[in-house]
Structure 1
Amino acid sequence: MTKLCIDGMNLSLTQGTGIRTYAQNLLSNAAAADISTQVLFGADIPHSANPTERAAILADPHSPARSRTKTDRLIRRVTRIKTRWGRSAQIAFSSDKIIWPNANLPPAPVVWHASNIFSDANRHFRNTGKLVKIRFDSESSKPDIVHWTTPIPICCDQSINICTLHDIIPLKAPYTTNHDRIVFSQLCRRVFDRADKIISISETSKLDAVELLGIPDDKITVIHQSVSPPETVINRPIQSLHRDIEEQFDLEPYQYFLYFGAIEPKKNLLRTLEAALTSESRLVLVVVGHRGWSNDAEHYFLSLLANGRTNRIRHLDYLSETQLASLVRCARATVFPSIYEGFGLPALESLILGTPVLASATPALMEVCGEAACYANPLDVSSIRDAFTRLSRDTAYCEELRAAGLAQAKKFSPEKYRQRLRNLYTSVL
């Protein structure tokens, strides 16, 4: 059986990101495709920790500051220096007495660990422009393939290296991110040059990489993502969901719009808020998301809320997966007029749950939604405003979008995703 290891850099995050969701889906679907899955973690674990303590830190890498001996501090400094000559990963001890997040076991049968590998590798790349080589210290368990879920300055000479390309927004729409453009460009070029295969999540991202980074077209394979909302929400009687929405959030089903995702410039939330507040719609706009690197939009709508100047905006910082899926399923429409996206996973989740989507007329979102979305020009407030108005007034149009969305979502089914993964991993061995 093929042994596949993916990096756990984003799996260890306490709050969701697009790449974390991608990694979770990749693990679960690879396992469903009869591929033996592994994860490489890089938690900061003192050398003096015993096996149970190491497992506890792996299960909660964001726990309070560690207690360190003088020996720990010395080993940490030496390890950081030795990174330039490569690092090794060991199979981590895990105990069934320790409860891991969202499950009773680690997210894969084999869990590797190399302390601080991701932060040390990024520091090393910034200083030298070179990748860090990693070795897996078990001949019988070492992976056949290492799949890096985003460009990371690490490679493994023992295995096939695959890297996922999500987007190159720092170069395509640079004013919407806070990346160091030069470091980002150099990292992408170096990682993609070393990779045996590059996976793009969309035709849009592939075209960007070919045009702006000069990556050979034949080195990139497009494998669209899939997502599986909680079955408990999909299969739950709609009246029961309606009751939950009313009691938990004091919202009337289908009488609110929903935005969910990070609050940052590329998501275009400031124009979205202006459009919603000045449209002819009287429906509430619910915003679910935490602060990104720029807070302009957040400061704007939070000030309106704080001053009691509007009751048409709700802000929820973070919800459980089930709560969020329930909100999506009962929304009038979800709202994603992003300035640019590499794919648009929230839009796909909305289609799967039968919820209309207000999307920006940008290549990736149009690739995902097809004819199943109400499109707007993301740079034109009046265009977004008109979409809000139409969706709030035209119930028949919303029903058409619901039906079209369910049909469109079948193109991104988990079964098709698993088959594409199986074909990919077979082709590179």
Structure 2
Amino acid sequence: MKRVVAIDGHNLALQRGTGVATYGKNLANNIQEIGWDSWTLYGGPISRRQLPLLREISFFDYLGGTAPKKGWVSDAYAQTKELFRAPLGYTAVDIPKTGSVEARRFSGRLPEESRIFNVENLFNVSRRYFRKYNKFLKVRFSEKPDIMHWTYPLPIKVVGVPNIYTVHDLVPLRLPYTTLDNKRYYHRLIKGCIENGDHICTVSEKSKEDILRLFDASESDVTNTYQSVETDLLTGAKSQREAEQEVSGIYGLAPQSYFLFFGAIEPKKNVARLVEAFLSARLDAKLVIVGSLAWKSDEEMKLLNSMLKQRLDLSQRIQVFDYAPRPFLLSLIRSAKAVVFPSLYEGFGLPVLEAMQLGVPTLCSTEGSLPEVAGNASLNVDPYDVAAIARGLQILDRDSAVRQQLTLAGTERAKLFDAGNYKTRLLNMYEKVA
């Protein structure tokens, strides 16, 4: 009988994908490829008392973004009820997949061949419970998995099985001014994951170093598995020419005519300095920014928005798209002159790995885990030095030999993080914990 790893669907349920959502889906797929089964535990507003068919319908309604509306009275009643029920714990209920609901639109978000479970409002309840009592919410499965692997720090623990918590980075503590997180709550939560969990998983040696330095954790209880991402699954059926035609038709961009940044627009991503560097570098290429506006995005985009009012021509040189579905995003990456990612700090830096895997040269920063991931296969610059970023952009814009060299080096470097190596690291951790 196959062993089972359950993961959470906290980020998989989000309407727009995040790096952690990509991590979760890829994790589930790799669990299956090492010969184990994967389950996914969600926290949708779905009552366990519903009939199985209605649970299935409600689940996909929830994934589609529909949320039941509650008045403040019913919401207050529900939260009061939680305070009495939460100490007893919750039992996960199975969400059947009978095919009664047309669910193909969610294929990019749901882990393949994974059983689905749900606890009503799990993630919201657990946070309220932890804030009030400083305790992790207990969850039970009627059939126990062998391991529960939380893809994100959450104040929840599955009873009777080893619990692994992935801590991607400690940015709220290392760069507190770049996030909106309640820092005392976050510190308490990470401390709780270490104390309540059986193992901590992280995604770079830099993040592991931060965890060991800031918390009372044993080195033997923290494993760096790095990350891996399968881009060929979506690009294999599409030729380079087709990808370029897609980018031209949808975004009006010619191949290799632009630098691409993608990721949330927030302080740690350093978009403001990137825009300043681009404007001062006098480049032939355009700058394309793909990312949703997050906290303090107005400050990050202040210079660009101000300049756009004065120079209408800039709207042709710097183009901003708040979202691109993953297939289109991969086409944008493949058609770019280079991917630029001068982030102030990353726990891993998936955009750099994805670009290297796709044979696209990169510019990234010398901070956080990025030098660890990119090695010498990227043009690495000081993210706090606008002039250094500008010089890097000029080199990539004008020197085709450098771009070719980085393309070859990046493709080779990406092999260190391929699926085979990732599966080996993952299996070693699971064998150790189980």
Q: Which band: TM-score by shorter chain?
A: over 0.9
What is the deviation of 1:297? 1.7
Match of 1:131? 136
State the SS of the aligned residue for 1:60: helix
Match of 1:258? 260
Mapped to 1, the partners of 2:419 and 2:106 lie a distance apart of 20
Match of 1:414? 419
Match of 1:346? 351
Superposed, 1:56-67 pairs within 5 Å as 56-61=57-62, 63-66=65-68
* Cα offsets for 1:319-356 (capped at 9, x unmatched): 11111101101111101100111000111000000011
Q: Which amino acid aligns with 1:331?
A: A
State the SS of the aligned residue for 1:293: coil
Match of 2:96? 93
Mapped to 1, the partners of 2:424 and 2:260 lie a distance apart of 32
Q: Given the alignment of the two structures, is residue 195 of structure 1 paired with residue 197 of structure 2, yes or no?
A: yes
Instruction: Check 1:159–1:366 CA distance in 2 against 1; reply closer, same or farther (3 A cut).
Output: same
Superposed, 1:191-340 pairs within 5 Å as 191-234=193-236, 236-295=238-297, 296-305=299-308, 308-310=312-314, 311-340=316-345
Q: Which amino acid aligns with 2:46?
A: I
Mapped to 1, the partners of 2:114 and 2:245 lie a distance apart of 39
Match of 2:362? 357
RMSD: 2.2
Q: Which amino acid aligns with 1:424?
A: M
Mapped to 1, the partners of 2:355 and 2:109 lie a distance apart of 29
TM-score of the pair, normalised by structure 1: 0.93
Q: Is the 8 A contact 2:42 2:117 kept in 1?
A: yes
Mapped to 2, the partners of 1:65 and 1:165 lie a distance apart of 29
* Cα offsets for 1:357-390 (capped at 9, x unmatched): 1100114001111111001101111111111111
Higher deviation after alignment, 92-101 or 414-423: 92-101
Q: Is the 8 A contact 1:57 1:63 kept in 2?
A: no
Q: Is the 8 A contact 2:48 2:93 kept in 1?
A: no
* Cα offsets for 1:123-144 (capped at 9, x unmatched): 11111211111111x2xx3211
Q: Given the alignment of the two structures, is residue 159 of structure 1 paired with residue 154 of structure 2, yes or no?
A: no
What is the deviation of 1:304? 3.9
What is the deviation of 1:74? 5.8
Higher deviation after alignment, 293-302 or 192-201: 293-302
Q: Which amino acid aligns with 1:174?
A: P
State the SS of the aligned residue for 1:285: strand
The percentage of counterpart residues that share the same residue type is 35
* Cα offsets for 1:247-299 (capped at 9, x unmatched): 22221211100000000000000000000111031211000000111121234
Q: Which amino acid aligns with 1:94?
A: K
Mapped to 1, the partners of 2:20 and 2:109 lie a distance apart of 21
* Cα offsets for 1:55-104 (capped at 9, x unmatched): 12222325444277999996674245311332221222333121334329
* Cα offsets for 1:142-162 (capped at 9, x unmatched): 211000111110112211111
For structure 2, which runs of at least 5 residues remain unmatched after alignment?
none
Q: Given the alignment of the two structures, is residue 109 of structure 1 paired with residue 114 of structure 2, yes or no?
A: yes
State the SS of the aligned residue for 1:335: strand
What is the deviation of 1:309? 4.8
* Cα offsets for 1:24-57 (capped at 9, x unmatched): 1100111111111101111012567443332122
Mapped to 2, the partners of 1:120 and 1:67 lie a distance apart of 17
Which of these residues, 385, 388, 391, is aligned with residue 383 of structure 1?
A: 388
Instruction: Check 1:320–1:85 CA distance in 2 against 1; reply closer, same or farther (3 A cut).
Output: same
Mapped to 2, the partners of 1:229 and 1:304 lie a distance apart of 36
Mapped to 2, the partners of 1:373 and 1:106 lie a distance apart of 32
Number of positions where the alignment pairs a residue of Structure 1 with one of Structure 2: 426
Mapped to 1, the partners of 2:97 and 2:50 lie a distance apart of 13
TM-score of the pair, normalised by structure 2: 0.92
Instruction: Check 1:387–1:75 CA distance in 2 against 1; reply closer, same or farther (3 A cut).
Output: closer
Mapped to 2, the partners of 1:51 and 1:79 lie a distance apart of 24
Q: Is the 8 A contact 2:12 2:109 kept in 1?
A: no
Q: Is the 8 A contact 1:373 1:405 kept in 2?
A: yes
Superposed, 1:19-30 pairs within 5 Å as 19-30=20-31
Higher deviation after alignment, 287-296 or 77-86: 77-86
Instruction: Check 1:159–1:105 CA distance in 2 against 1; reply closer, same or farther (3 A cut).
Output: same
Mapped to 1, the partners of 2:367 and 2:76 lie a distance apart of 49
Match of 2:399? 394
Higher deviation after alignment, 344-353 or 155-164: 155-164
Which of these residues, 87, 97, 101, is aligned with residue 84 of structure 1?
A: 87
Mapped to 2, the partners of 1:324 and 1:105 lie a distance apart of 15
For structure 1, which runs of at least 5 residues remain unmatched after alignment?
none
Q: Which amino acid aligns with 1:103?
A: S
